[in-house]
Amino acid sequence: LHQHLPTGQRVGTCREGMPRSAAVVSARRSLVSSAATAEVDSAAACAAARRAITLDLRSERGRDLFLRLADGADIIVENFRPGTLEKWGLGYDVLRERNRGIILVRVSGYGQTGPMKTVAGYDMAIQAISGLMSITGEADDKPGGGPQKVGVPISDLLTGMYSATGVLSALLHRERTGEGQHIDMALLDVQLAALANQNLNYRTTGKPPRRSPRAARAGPRRACTGSSRGRAALQRRHPR
């Protein structure tokens, strides 16, 4: 919720599963790292330099506070499992009735509808089920060949970027009409879209793409060690 409390504390997260004893459970502004690895936790990295409170949305007071904040908010981003907000009486229809211009972004693994809507979405699972891992890495007959996970949570990151683009479109729509938008953003939808030409190749030829230097039609193919003590990308040209 991009909105401020009377004390000036910004609402950043409203989490499920918190103690029932109080509506406002915590207020924090921190960047947490692991002493053992000195690696920053991904959630903490995303929340860096951001003030946040946690609400117990199972309590009446917590829900009332949420609605009061939503009344003056422009954008709400949530990633509860589909149906959770409705269970608490905080669905889009309720929010829109109170705030006609509200923009609600709902991020989930497999969308708000469909047979997998209640399945938790994890980046690694999305990379696998979308087919991204099947076209990443060396071919099966090469040393170390086999499906590989991308080195960063690319499905999560791309979904955030798609969500931001959707919000910009929704803001433009609201400027013209005064109405907000409900944005259903699924990790699987985003990752499938990001497969780009690999999807098109499959739809036009019926052949699943393979892990090989010929898997893509443009861009660097392999890397080799160069005299500059680094790595150089080599382009392999295909005969026409």
DSSP-based three-state secondary structure for 19? coil
Do 92 and 120 meet the contact criterion of CB atoms below 8 Å apart? no
Which three-class secondary structure string do you get for 132-186? CHHHCCCCCCCCCCCCCCCCCCHHHHHHHHHHHHHHHHHHHHHHHHCCCEEEEEE
C-alpha–C-alpha distance, residues 69 and 109, integer Å: 26
C-alpha–C-alpha distance, residues 49 and 29, integer Å: 6
C-alpha–C-alpha distance, residues 100 and 2, integer Å: 16
Residues belonging to the active site: 156
Q: How is 20-83 classified by DSSP, letter by letter?
A: TT-SEEEEE----B-TTT-PBPHHHHHTTT--EEEE-TTSHHHHHHHHHHHHT-SEEEE-SPTT
